[in-house]
Amino acid sequence: MLATNAFPNRLGRSWRHLRTRWETVPVYDYVLATEPLTAEQLAALRWDPAVGVADAGNQFHYYRITPDRRILWGGYDVVYHFGRSIREDHLDRPQTFQRLADHFAATFPQLEGIRFTHRWAGVIDTSTQFCALFGQAHGGRTVYATGFTGLGVGASRFAADVMLDRLQGLDTARTRLEMVRKRPPPFPPEPFAWLGIMITTWARAREDATGRRNLWLRTLDRLGLGFDS
Ligand SMILES: Cc1cc2nc3c(=O)[nH]c(=O)nc-3n(C[C@H](O)[C@H](O)[C@H](O)COP(=O)(O)OP(=O)(O)OC[C@H]3O[C@@H](n4cnc5c(N)ncnc54)[C@H](O)[C@@H]3O)c2cc1C
C-alpha cells in the first residue's frame, strides 16, 4: 500500500507507471499559531472553541481554537515551485507568514498585539480535480492513493478503506464509486504546469477581489478541473 502524499513513490520511477508522476503536483501551505488567549480575550470573541472556520474565498483561510486556547490560522497562499520542486527551504517563506499575520490582524482587530509563537508549513499533493485518486499495480498486489489536495485528514481514512478493499479483491460500495474508479487528467509537463498554475492562482485571486469568474476559470469548470470539478 503506497501512501506517500506529495513525495514520489517507487511506481512513479517505472515506465509502465510513469503516469502516476504526472497526476499530482506538490504545493506548499502555511500555518501560524498565536500565544494562548486569556479567558477574557476568548470570551470577547464569542466564538465556540468547538467550531472550526474556513472563509469562503478561493484563497481561503482556515482557523480554529486549539485546546490550549491558541488560534491556529492557516491557508491563503498555496505555493507551487517550478519543476515540481520539493525542498526543505520551501517550508520557510517569510512573505507568506507575514501575509498570514496581516490577514489575521484584519480579521481579529480586537486581538491587536497578540504574538505568534508557532509557524509551520507542509507540502500538499494536488490533483487536477482537487480530490484523491486511486490506482493499483502488479496485478492488484500494490495499491495506492494520492492527490488529497489539502483535504486528507478525513479522506485519507476513507482512502485506506478503499485500498484495503482492493487488496482483498472486494467489490464494495466504496470501490464502485466513480471518484474511486476514474482518474483525474494529469498535469502537463513544464513549463506548462507552472504557467497553468500561475494563471489559475492569479485568476482565483482576481475573482476573490472582483467577484467575477473569468474565462480561464470558466474553461476549467467546463473541463471539470479544479475545486468545482
Ligand atoms: C499546512 C497544512 C495544512 C493542512 N490542513 C488540512 C486540513 O485542515 N484538513 C485536511 O483534511 N487536510 C489538511 N492538510 C492535508 C493533510 O495533512 C493531508 O492531505 C494528509 O495528511 C494526507 O495523508 P497521507 O496519509 O496521504 O500523507 P501523509 O500524512 O503526509 O503521510 C505520508 C507518509 O509517507 C511517508 N513517505 C513519503 N515518501 C515515502 C517513501 N518514498 N517511502 C516511505 N515512506 C514515505 C512520509 O514520511 C509520511 O509519513 C493540510 C496539509 C498541510 C501541509
CATH label of the domain that carries residue 54: 3.30.9.10
Same domain (yes/no): 55, 115? yes
Same domain (yes/no): 31, 82? yes
Spell out the per-residue pLDDT of the chain, length 229, in tens: 999 999 988 786 777 777 778 899 999 999 999 999 999 999 999 999 999 999 989 999 999 999 999 999 999 999 999 999 999 999 999 999 999 999 999 999 999 999 999 999 999 999 999 999 999 999 999 999 999 998 999 999 999 999 999 999 999 999 999 999 999 999 999 999 999 999 999 999 999 999 999 999 999 999 988 876 6
Nearest protein Cα to ligand 1, atom 47: 4
Is residue 110 domain-resident? yes
| pLDDT recorded at residue 10 | 79
Is residue 106 domain-resident? yes
33 within ligand 1 shell (Cβ under 6 A): no
159 within ligand 1 shell (Cβ under 6 A): no
Same domain (yes/no): 50, 76? yes
Q: Which atom of ligand 1 is nearest to the CA of 154?
A: 11
| pLDDT recorded at residue 11 | 82
Same domain (yes/no): 112, 158? no
Q: Which atom of ligand 1 is nearest to the CA of 28?
A: 53
Q: What is the number of domains present in the chain?
A: 3
Is residue 187 domain-resident? no
9 within ligand 1 shell (Cβ under 6 A): yes
Nearest protein Cα to ligand 1, atom 45: 4
Which of 98, 81, 91 is CA-nearest to residue 120?
Answer: 91
Same domain (yes/no): 63, 109? yes
Is residue 3 domain-resident? no
Same domain (yes/no): 115, 165? no
Nearest protein Cα to ligand 1, atom 53: 122
| pLDDT recorded at residue 142 | 93
Is residue 229 domain-resident? no
Nearest protein Cα to ligand 1, atom 51: 150
Alpha carbon of 122 to ligand 1 centroid (Å): 8
Same domain (yes/no): 201, 166? no
| pLDDT recorded at residue 226 | 82
Q: Which atom of ligand 1 is nearest to the CA of 146?
A: 26
Is residue 186 domain-resident? no
Is residue 228 domain-resident? no
Q: What is the largest CA-CA distance in the chain?
A: 60
Same domain (yes/no): 202, 173? no
| pLDDT recorded at residue 17 | 72
151 within ligand 1 shell (Cβ under 6 A): yes
Same domain (yes/no): 139, 204? no
Q: Identity (one letter) of the amino acid at 131?
A: C
Same domain (yes/no): 85, 118? yes
Same domain (yes/no): 51, 103? yes
| pLDDT recorded at residue 77 | 92
Same domain (yes/no): 152, 118? no
| pLDDT recorded at residue 18 | 73
What is the distance between the alpha carbons of residues 46 and 15, in angstroms, rounded to a whole number? 56
Among 85, 103, 127, identify where a domain stops. 127
Distances from the Cα of 189 to the Cαs of 27, 124, 193, 196, 206, in angstroms?
A: 16, 19, 6, 10, 26
Nearest protein Cα to ligand 1, atom 26: 5
Is residue 1 domain-resident? no
- Domain range for 80: 25-127
pTM: predicted TM-score of the whole model, two decimal places: 0.92
